[in-house]
Structure 1
Amino acid sequence: MNTTGPADKGLRLIPFRGLRYVPERVGSLSAVTSPPYDVVVRPDGLHHLESADPHNIVRLILPQAATPANRHHQAAATLERWLAEGVLAPDPEPALYVYEQRRGEVLQRGVIGALALSSPADGIVLPHEDVMADVVEDRAALLRTTAANLEPLLLTYRGDTYGAPSGPLSGEPSGEPATPPGGTAGVVERALGRAPLLTTTTEDGFAHRLWAVTDPTDLAHVSDDLARHQALIADGHHRWATYLRLRDEHAATAGPEGPAGAAGPWGYGLVLLIDTARYPLQVRSIHRLLRGLPVGRALDALAGSFRVRTIDGPLPEALGALGDAAATGNAFLLAGDGRFHLVNRPDEELLARTVRNDRPTAWQRLDATVLHATLLDHVWRIPDDPEHISYLHDTEAAVTQAERTGGTAVLMHPVHEDVVRELARQGVTMPRKSTSFGPKPATGLVMRSVTFD
């Protein structure tokens, strides 16, 4: 995903003093980590993480209190206390961090750093989804109050291919001949030969390792390489919008200074950059939970506009049927009444009336587009707000919560990454929560406080 403009118009990733847990002060690194804030299944997952360790990072990213303001101030007070008690401590010098995740055959490696924030018109960082204003406001208030980037965004770019990356967890070559990589890929590969700063295995079975990169030559290689690239936001659109809002707030109250402009340290945001030419991401679906809509009423409203048939069998079989149907057109799986109902073959005249026609054909045909424009807005008439719709990454959790609450789970089929990337290149955003790229970085392994920059 290279840019064609001058090198100084690409990505600019700088070292920072990572804020990390002190292993001797916590039960285990695994016990204090968390999935990203929007992946935590609430309330069950939240309570589980809170009870795993009194210092679990969820107390910072999802603090619990009576009001939003109290939640944010509680997170700030907790962060300040953990720093004072030595539970968290900044690294002694600024660094970029090589980060590895591994589970079975899934291997992902990238670089964590502070990315200079760019305006959308610059085309350096490409979003592909819309955001919800209330979520951005909440995240901005949390980051503003804590003065910290508590979890990295996941960004992808297409680097140069120099041969296969090394595979085993030891970091040794896999046995296949490969040309030594250069640029950022070379820095990542060379880090594997050193002892990591930390290793841990989280509950989801992923093994995590982290290395600090401080050598000036290595830092220069990364800087020169990334300056030729643009990136796609794979995960973290609301956090990216939050970064931009806080940058603009601080730029408006300060004079020009520093390489990131008037915003100073607020002109950068914590990100994980993955080169998908070497480490392709997985693309998964984000499902909808419609709280006030029973399955029976949802199905009745579809009469005459979609084909509906009940799938006899367990969830994997139903998801297989969804995949088959999605290969030929829009398809959804409804659940919540103890069964699964495949919804597909929408009426073309209905789509023509409800889906806007001033967007590319690929956008008009997205399942998420049809779900929101046709089903939610027109057929079911459900407002897209947190009171009526929840977004869940875990398929079984979506089904369970629908059955528990008497609502309807709308299970989605994932969008191909090439479709996402091409729409982003055209400047077209997809409906919010259309995709879930992964594996996502574990929250809590490294954070960034603007007070240490």
Structure 2
Amino acid sequence: MGTPELPVPAGLVLRPFRGVRFAVEDPAKVTSPPYDLISDADVEVLLDSHPNNVVRLILPCSSRSNSSPGTPTDDGHPSAPPATPSQPGPSQTASPQATPSEAESPQAALSQAAPSQAAPSQAAPPQFRPDAASPTGETPLQPRYAVARDTLRDWLNAGVLVPDDVPALYVYEQSGPDVLQRGLIGDVGLADPSQRIILPHEDVFPGPIADRLALMSTTQANLEPIFLLYDGDNGTATRLVDEVASERRPLVSARTEDGLTHRLWAITAPEEIAAINADLHHRQALIADGHHRYATYRVLQRQERAARHIPRPTSTSDTHSGQPSATGGSAAPPAAPGEAGVSEHAGTGTAAPAYDEAALSPWDFGLALLVDSRAYPPDLKAIHRVVQGLPLDEAVSRAKSSWQVHDYEDLAAGLAALERAPEPAFLLAGEQGSHLLTDPDPVQLSRAMPPDRSDRWNSLNTSVLAEFVLPVVWGMRDNDQTVHIVHHDTDAAVSLAIRTGGTAVILKPLVVDDVLAIAAGGERVPRKSTSFGPKPRTGLVLRTFAID
């Protein structure tokens, strides 16, 4: 049987779910950063903080994350590849690059992914059994995902993890010095990017999708939320989030080692949940963090529906308002006719198919944090590069044929000059000081930038780096083997460059409005262009499909 037609959300939908939470004295000690920001050294620190840290679930078999008492061991199977600060997490290991169409194709990801492990039912069983036989009768891709499944099962059965009694949307607050962000955690309805409801701004690649798909299908869980931004325009959802955070007692309060306090509240009243969704329905959301996990949600949805022969829910009639969107434009244009699972009426202001809630499956949703970017502007940080195998003096020498080069004796002076320089500009750093590249030759730059891209896309510093500096000036490909990624930390980037005899490329962060506009126009920024924050902490609330 082929993949059935998928259910289609007529707008932005955030469904309540029965959250699964740790029953421990200090919840901060069982949380972690997102999986792709965790190195092997970080795993050791997290496990030292608590034997039941959530890292055992999201990065099974990384370092000693599966070897403490009470947790199944790997029995000698290969562990995940070691990670370094410049290569965080096992899913960030080198993988073949793919075109966007290939990377987003469910077939491309499924060809590398683990088969499903079915949950016994959609109701919470007395004993959670994520290891029940799958519809295909097959086993997980790699043993480490079974380790996570068994650990999740054991913690639920032992009461380390406890499901909430009733479904809820969760208000989530992060606060600290110069930081305040509030949003809603819930089950977001899965929309195709062409619907213009949930907008990606980065391409995805098969390797990370296969890794997260194997984990989600084997554990039958969403273990950490993706991060979505939308323009709430001081609407009902935003006002209710602030009211709850200001006036009600939190379920959870945890202060993590980075100085942030995380608090969680549950909204369970049907009328409040309905008011939130009425406000969200016509808005657009931008994927700030979690592109590969969102793509995985959609592949998993197809996989589970096909394996379980779940029919498409019966459509009802709903009106899509066409009101202003999160990015300042009108609601979405119609998708290409004939695209499976996409309403031809979406965003036109006419009747569009809507969910038949009673017929939906848990795989039609994915765990997400939704934040109003107008009320709580995100912190957008730069992502730096380290080009190994390219000595700094050689990088500078080659750049002089097409850039103005300004030399500085120390990193601090170079960083100050980079901050003042108009874009595009890059600071090259390593063992022999730092060198600022400014004012590229306009003819060479214009010749290098792709003519089918928008002017805004071609003006991004990451676009200039990927299309001009790396391939034309230095003769190198922008891939994981050549270019290593370092989030935020200039000192870490320079240190890695010195250790490897390479060149650190320090960038300024992109502008939020540029990212929004590019996403709204249907384009994607180059890989690893953005790092939105503060990112949601993993482990405060989990979602399992059996309990959902």
TM-score by length of 1: 0.87
Do the aligned partners of residues 296 and 46 (structure 1) sit closer, same or farther apart at CA in structure 2, a change above 3 Å counting? Answer: farther
How far residue 408 of structure 1 moved from its aligned partner, in angstroms, is: 2.5
Distance 1:384 1:138 in 2: 22
Counterpart residue number, 2:470: 376
Distance 2:149 2:383 in 1: 30
SS in 2 for 1:452: coil
Distance 1:36 1:402 in 2: 25
One-letter amino acid of the counterpart of residue 486, structure 2 = L
Is the Cα–Cα contact under 8 Å of residues 36 and 440 in structure 1 kept in the other structure? yes
Distance 2:27 2:423 in 1: 44
Flag structure 2 segments of 5+ consecutive residues without an equivalent.
1-8, 63-77, 81-141, 314-354
Is the Cα–Cα contact under 8 Å of residues 39 and 392 in structure 1 kept in the other structure? no
One-letter amino acid of the counterpart of residue 444, structure 1 = G
Do the aligned partners of residues 246 and 196 (structure 1) sit closer, same or farther apart at CA in structure 2, a change above 3 Å counting? Answer: same
Is the Cα–Cα contact under 8 Å of residues 155 and 235 in structure 1 kept in the other structure? yes
Do the aligned partners of residues 251 and 63 (structure 1) sit closer, same or farther apart at CA in structure 2, a change above 3 Å counting? Answer: same
Counterpart residue number, 2:500: 405
Counterpart residue number, 1:256: 311
Once the two structures are overlaid, the 10-residue window that deviates more, 385-394 or 90-99, is 385-394
Is the Cα–Cα contact under 8 Å of residues 306 and 347 in structure 1 kept in the other structure? yes
TM-score by length of 2: 0.72
Is the Cα–Cα contact under 8 Å of residues 257 and 264 in structure 1 kept in the other structure? no
Once the two structures are overlaid, the 10-residue window that deviates more, 233-242 or 305-314, is 305-314
What are the within-5 Å matches in structure 2 for residues 21-100 of structure 1?
A: 21-24=22-25, 28-40=26-38, 42-64=39-61, 66=78, 69-100=142-173
Counterpart residue number, 2:97: none
One-letter amino acid of the counterpart of residue 53, structure 1 = H
Counterpart residue number, 2:230: 157
Distance 1:207 1:50 in 2: 20
Distance 1:340 1:260 in 2: 59
How far residue 257 of structure 1 moved from its aligned partner, in angstroms, is: 4.9
Flag structure 1 segments of 5+ consecutive residues without an equivalent.
1-7, 162-181
Is the Cα–Cα contact under 8 Å of residues 381 and 532 in structure 2 kept in the other structure? yes
Distance 1:270 1:251 in 2: 18
Deviation readout 1:239-289 (Å, 9 max, x if unpaired): 111111111222333232554798721110111111112111111111122
Distance 1:337 1:116 in 2: 49
Counterpart residue number, 1:318: 414
Distance 2:217 2:503 in 1: 36
Counterpart residue number, 1:273: 370
Counterpart residue number, 1:107: 180
Is the Cα–Cα contact under 8 Å of residues 116 and 260 in structure 1 kept in the other structure? no
Distance 2:521 2:460 in 1: 15
Distance 1:157 1:96 in 2: 17
Do the aligned partners of residues 371 and 324 (structure 1) sit closer, same or farther apart at CA in structure 2, a change above 3 Å counting? Answer: same
Once the two structures are overlaid, the 10-residue window that deviates more, 411-420 or 304-313, is 304-313
Deviation readout 1:170-196 (Å, 9 max, x if unpaired): xxxxxxxxxxxx511232123121110
One-letter amino acid of the counterpart of residue 431, structure 1 = P
Deviation readout 1:297-320 (Å, 9 max, x if unpaired): 3223323122222323344x4322
Select the residue among 404, 410, 421 that pairs with 2:516. Answer: 421
Deviation readout 1:185-208 (Å, 9 max, x if unpaired): 232123121110110111111111
SS in 2 for 1:451: coil
SS in 2 for 1:38: helix
SS in 2 for 1:9: coil
One-letter amino acid of the counterpart of residue 123, structure 1 = R
Counterpart residue number, 1:16: 17
How far residue 338 of structure 1 moved from its aligned partner, in angstroms, is: 5.7
Distance 1:107 1:191 in 2: 15
Distance 1:73 1:323 in 2: 48
Aligned length, in residue pairs: 419
Identity %: 45
Distance 2:301 2:475 in 1: 37
Q: Does 1:191 align with 2:263?
A: no
